[in-house]
Amino acid sequence: MNLQPQKVLTPEQMMAVDLATVAAGIPGLILMENAAHAVVEYIAHTCAPVASQRIVIFCGKGGNGGDGLAIARILHTRFPPLQLDVLLACDPVELRGEAAVNLQMLHAAGLQISPGITPQMSAANVVVDAVLGTGLNGAAGGRALEAIHAMNTRFPRARVIAVDIPSGLSGATGAIPGDYVRADATVTFTAPKLCHVLAPAANLLGELLVAQIGTNPALFENDTAIWLSLVTRESLAPLFAPRARHANKGSYGHVLIVAGSRGKSGAAAMAALAALRCGAGLVTVACPLSALPAIAAFAPEIMTEPLAESEAGLLAESAGDRILELAQTRDVVAIGPGLGQSPELRELVGRLFRNLERTLIADADALNALAGTDWRAPACSVRVITPHPGEMSRLSGTATAAIQADRISAARGLARERGTTVVLKGERTLLAFPDGRVWVNPTGSPAMATGGTGDILTGMVGAMLAQFPGDRDRAIAGAVYLHGKAGELAARDLGEQPVIATDLLRYFPEGIRGIHHPPHKL
């Protein structure tokens, strides 16, 4: 089992990997043949019995089209009496290299290119999109665009399977430059590409399968220049394995949550409950004295510590000494949910961020307190911040629109500049580390766009870091992945609109089981 997230390649990196594979002795024609077999196996698994299907394959003039021609030949020879039609979105003389060779082999196998779409083809059960690949720059046009329109409109019964990427999407950015194929599934090869992990394209792939076609994984998995990765269930499964029989509460860490204020006790309580439900052995909430009874009333398992407060019911700056004292006997400190804002809090949060010797997670009002100051992680310390785009804007001094336009660069730049792990929340939450690596989380749902889900995540990150201090990066990823998965499961059962933050807690058990014991898939 690969315990690391899956490397994500740009189109240029994928091309370099393919060239290195060919140079190592595996011809490009073999790679194309293996890719075609992977698509055929997917069709055989999901569209059985294949011989009784009607399949239409659209092929372009590049490598993607060559894959399509090879898929057609393999289907034709392997599944008679399959009804199969092959359409070219180019003139045959435009084919080059392996694509041209595959056209010759298709003819040699006794299958010809169809001259056009016939009424009979509209009854197709499966359509294979092999027109445009990840190298597309700009919007599709010409015969490729005509093929895209045909696949979207002429085959009402068909399951559409895209080869590498639905035609028309940008492989380099994940953007939608023009019309694109509405795919039900996408089969890509060797490793996911940018377009497979970044919104909006990542939401338009249908089911995604990454198939291995013979490339040595060492060509990219050990390349530190490839710094973008996709968090996978497989990489996180060991974090959620059954516990040792001799374990006790001291085995799984003690989280100190500095949170809450008068009238904002719920945020602190949600963070604490999430930390407990995510496996922390012990959780203590340190809060203003007047907020303590309400926080303690949420659950008897939450321990509390009273702190000095201002007249407004916010933490007083003088609480800093007591927090530093409490932190000495805890493993992880999380600060921010429901703290409120005041000049005193700004000074207090800055002091804790600079001086705490324990791992510190800052969220919500703690991030607002840091914004506008010269905050950065002290040497040899672990600092994690979990901003949404608005908080990210305040922390970095960059407009929210600019951050959303290039989330990866924004998160990576801030993490490297401030020596802090950045969890940039939102669609496809990003984990950016101080050394320049960025991990993309694939889970989540619009149902999570409700107050309190960020507080839940803060507690989860604290719990996972407390349990796995020697595996911090994956611990943070485990919290983010499970958080998103719980949101998906809640939306499945409740619908997107009714979900509230504490609903996520109900779905931790199913989410954890799915990570450690997933249903079988191809």
Contact predicate 60/132, CB 8 Å: yes
**pLDDT > 70: percent of the chain:** 99
pLDDT at position 440 is 98
- How confident is the model over 420-433, as a mean pLDDT? 98
pLDDT greater than 90 at residue 499: yes
Of 230, 262, 293, which one is at a domain's C-terminal end?
230
235 within domain boundaries = no
Range with the poorest average pLDDT among 103-107, 172-176, 260-264, 462-466 = 172-176
- How many whole angstroms separate alpha carbon 229 and alpha carbon 4? 9
- How confident is the model over 54-67, as a mean pLDDT? 97
Whether 214 and 295 share a structural domain: no
**Helix orientation angle between 63-78 and 97-108, rounded to the nearest 10 degrees:** 20
238 within domain boundaries = no
Q: What is the pLDDT of residues 145-159, one digit of tens each?
A: 999 999 999 999 999
Whether 200 and 124 share a structural domain: yes
User: What's the domain range around 18?
Assistant: 6-230
- How many whole angstroms separate alpha carbon 250 and alpha carbon 248? 5
522 within domain boundaries = no
- How confident is the model over 364-374, as a mean pLDDT? 96
pLDDT at position 521 is 53
**pLDDT > 90: percent of the chain:** 95
Work out the number of other CB atoms within 10 angstroms of the CB of residue 40: 21
Whether 248 and 389 share a structural domain: yes
Whether 316 and 273 share a structural domain: yes
Whether 226 and 257 share a structural domain: no
Q: What is the pLDDT of residues 185-233, one digit of tens each?
A: 999 999 999 999 999 999 999 999 999 999 999 999 989 899 999 999 9
Whether 267 and 216 share a structural domain: no
Listed in sequence order, the residues at least 6 apart from 247 whose beta carbon sits closer than 8 Å to its beta carbon are none
- How confident is the model over 135-143, as a mean pLDDT? 92
Whether 216 and 256 share a structural domain: no
Whether 182 and 251 share a structural domain: no
**Tokens for 396?**
């970095």
- How many whole angstroms separate alpha carbon 67 and alpha carbon 89? 14
pLDDT greater than 90 at residue 16: yes
CATH code of 143's domain:
3.40.50.10260
- Tell me the pLDDT of the chain averaged across its residues: 96
22 within domain boundaries = yes
Whether 177 and 262 share a structural domain: no
- How confident is the model over 34-58, as a mean pLDDT? 96
Given pLDDT bands bounded at 50, 70 and 90, which one contains residue 393?
very high
Whether 292 and 223 share a structural domain: no
138 within domain boundaries = yes
pLDDT at position 343 is 95
Contact predicate 426/405, CB 8 Å: no
pLDDT greater than 90 at residue 519: no
**Helix orientation angle between 97-108 and 28-46, rounded to the nearest 10 degrees:** 60
pLDDT greater than 80 at residue 1: no
- How confident is the model over 329-354, as a mean pLDDT? 97
CATH code of 385's domain:
3.40.1190.20
**Tokens for 222?**
């050990």
- How many whole angstroms separate alpha carbon 369 and alpha carbon 362? 10
- How many whole angstroms separate alpha carbon 426 and alpha carbon 223? 28
Number of domains within the chain: 2
- How many whole angstroms separate alpha carbon 288 and alpha carbon 290? 6
Given pLDDT bands bounded at 50, 70 and 90, which one contains residue 2?
low
- How many whole angstroms separate alpha carbon 211 and alpha carbon 35? 8
Work out the number of other CB atoms within 10 angstroms of the CB of residue 223: 14
pLDDT greater than 90 at residue 53: yes
pLDDT at position 259 is 98
Listed in sequence order, the residues at least 6 apart from 220 whose beta carbon sits closer than 8 Å to its beta carbon are 7, 9, 13, 17, 190, 191, 226
Of 169, 196, 230, which one is at a domain's C-terminal end?
230
pLDDT at position 435 is 97
236 within domain boundaries = no
Whether 212 and 295 share a structural domain: no
- How many whole angstroms separate alpha carbon 29 and alpha carbon 174? 28
Contact predicate 295/269, CB 8 Å: yes
521 within domain boundaries = no
Whether 278 and 314 share a structural domain: yes
pLDDT at position 518 is 67
Of 195, 230, 265, which one is at a domain's C-terminal end?
230
1 within domain boundaries = no
Given pLDDT bands bounded at 50, 70 and 90, which one contains residue 3?
confident
